[in-house]
Chain A
Amino acid sequence: MKKMQYIMLVTTALLSHGLALSEQSSKQDARLTSRTFLERYNEDRDYRPLVFDALQAPKSGGLYYAHRILKQCATIGEGSAFESTITTDAASIDLDRKRADALSLLKSRCEKFSSDELSDSYIEEIRNQGLRQGDPLVRASANATSDHRGSGEAENVNRRRKRAIASVMSFPDPLLIDEIGLRLILQTRNEGQSSKKSFRLDGKDIPLKGSGTDVDAGLALTLVPCKLGLRCDSTEFATAIQCATGGDCDDGRGDALRKAFENNQKAPADLFVRTDQLADRIANALLHKQKNVLSD
């Protein structure tokens, strides 16, 4: 009997959940479907099938993902560029292995695109198509980042921040948040002839210090996409390309930030932990639509 009740309960829950989903707007659908693109963005070692599928799904944020991926691959170039000649030096064998792995990953992800597909005009046209066909993420991105030739600077910046917040509240997609970045928390106040920038969080103004010795809301923001599903380890594009081009080979965004703090003698020992906690709080606010954290 209990088993039957449980089955009915689960069935009812699933049905009501299904009905609720079907009644919700296309926003929710886009959130759900862009998730599959995100998972493939994180995992795939060949981006061509992903871009192919994404281009068929403008209503689910697919064009945004396709645009983003092609732009990244364009940075690297077409497949013919991959003629790795890394030489292994006994003294740096581990670093060489990391560089080789990063090169191999970038190569496998991007080498199947042609130069035409990686051209600026093709990539920009995908974005334009996203705007025309109502790709929610492309529109959210445009809404949050454009409009900077208006009247006053402070008005522009603050209006843009509000639009950016609305965009990521509707679509807390990690790539979108990553792109919008500082625009989510940056505000400007007119002070006589000049303007003064600050961050706005929890309804409070936070001065731009830049000393690297206190919790930095902007740095915390860079970790938020990782909290929302972006794979931020050594396979993430920015980390991989830095390693592949001879820079530091970090294990990911968090690792890079932790190392940077460790190298700053003036930074308190718990600075990374506190920055990470702030990132958690912002991510939670976005997921649960707690407007008070980001909004005024």
Chain B
Amino acid sequence: MKIFNHCSNQLILCAAFLFPFGPTHAETFYVLPTVTVTEDAYTDFSGWGGYQPWYNSTQYLNNMIVGDQFFAQLNSMTAVMKSTSVCLAPVSADAKSTTSESDVTSRWLAAQEVFNSTKNMNLLTKYFAIMKDLTFVIDGNSYKGFTVGYADGTGETWAINPAYATSTIKLLDHPMPGSLSPYQGKSHRPKCNAG
């Protein structure tokens, strides 16, 4: 009511207030520029059991974030396993380009990033439930394992530091000996070349 009383005295200003001439953030649809895509970032998804709309690499957690669908899909073993690939996890470009040819430190850093993202997505418990047999004894101590998929479709297993919650060292800094597995064509690991 006050606005309209005030408006009767200052019509022009109020017209601008009530009927803004310019677009506002709330009304404007910001058209982002088109970019020319030079190549498909992901070269091979043939090993993942066919196309699944909520697994289209960038949106693998699409529906997982909310509601019943989220919890249903969270139960999916495949979804959990896919979160452990550098191709699909929201990790740095550096991690996404890590392959079996990269040096151990680079692989370790990439594996740590994937582990952190899996933890942030609250998928670790599910991962442990699925991979309950993936344990190792090193120097008399038992460790859980964490297998990471690299950009070339290979995979490698790292031992999880039991004190990871209070340490930078989420994974022990050397991989499990002999655990670097080659890409096997239509295996369960994707290849990617983003980065």
| Interface set of A (CB-CB < 8 Å, partner B) | 46, 48-49, 51-52, 55, 71-72, 74-78, 81-86, 103, 106, 112, 115, 117-129, 141-142, 145-146, 148-149, 153, 156-157, 179, 181-183, 186, 188, 194-195, 197, 208-213, 216-219, 221-222, 238, 241-242, 244-247, 257, 260-261, 263-264, 267, 271
Contact = CB atoms under 8 A, between A and B. Distances in A.
Contacts of A85: 66-68
A148 B35 contact: no
Chain B interface mostly helix, strand, loop or mixed? loop
Nearest to B59: A77
Interface of B: 25, 28-33, 35-42, 54, 57-59, 61-71, 74, 90, 92-94, 97-98, 101-106, 108-109, 112, 119-123, 161, 163, 165-169, 172-174, 194-195
Given A81-B63, A182-B112, A49 B33 contact: no
Given A119-B58, A195-B105, A219 B168 contact: yes
A77 B65 contact: yes
Contact of B41 (A121, A218, A222): A121
Contact of A182 (B68, B93, B109, B165): B109
Contact of A121 (B30, B37, B74, B106): B37
Contact of B66 (A83, A122, A179): A83
Nearest to A238: B120
B36 to A, nearest CB: 7
A78 B93 contact: no
Given A106-B65, A148-B102, A244-B66, 19 more contacts: A71-B90, A77-B62, A78-B59, A78-B62, A86-B67, A120-B41, A122-B35, A127-B93, A195-B104, A208-B173, A210-B161, A212-B165, A216-B166, A216-B168, A244-B65, A246-B74, A247-B122, A263-B165, A264-B166
